[in-house]
């Protein structure tokens, strides 16, 4: 069974929609992107899937993964001394 990722996208009626991959309709619509991200993050964490945050133009501006990755990426923000 494939895990469905959550997408925060601009709504056609204004505001922001949360959609799961492969869904024809939005799971929920919010007035602000912040509210939509909070809801979508909960969905992605519960499903152990990915969260994609899109900008107004539809491009992906951020992505988070909430799964058990056996080979997680190295932290690029660490200062090496």
Kindly state the DSSP code that residue 66 receives in the 8-state scheme: -
Domain ranges of the chain: 6-65
Q: What is the pLDDT of residues 6-47, one digit of tens each?
A: 999 999 889 999 999 989 899 999 999 999 999 999 999 999
- Report how far residue 39's alpha carbon sits from residue 30's, in angstroms, rounded to the nearest whole number: 9
Segments in the chain forming alpha helices (H) = 33-47
Q: Are 16 and 33 in contact (CB under 8 A)?
A: yes
pTM: 0.79
pLDDT of amino acid 67 = 79
Three-state secondary structure call for residue 38:
helix
Is-contact 10 17, C-beta < 8 A?
A: yes
* CA 29/CA 57 separation, integer angstroms: 17
């Amino acid at each position: 069974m494939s895990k469905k990722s959550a997408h925060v996208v601009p709504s056609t009626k204004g505001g922001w929609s949360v959609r799961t991959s492969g869904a024809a309709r939005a799971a929920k619509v919010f007035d602000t992107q912040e509210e939509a991200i909070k809801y979508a993050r909960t969905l992605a964490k519960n499903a152990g899937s990915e969260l994609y945050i899109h900008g107004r133009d539809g491009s992906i501006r951020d992505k988070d993964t909430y799964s058990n990755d056996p080979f997680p990426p190295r932290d690029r923000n660490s200062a090496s001394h």
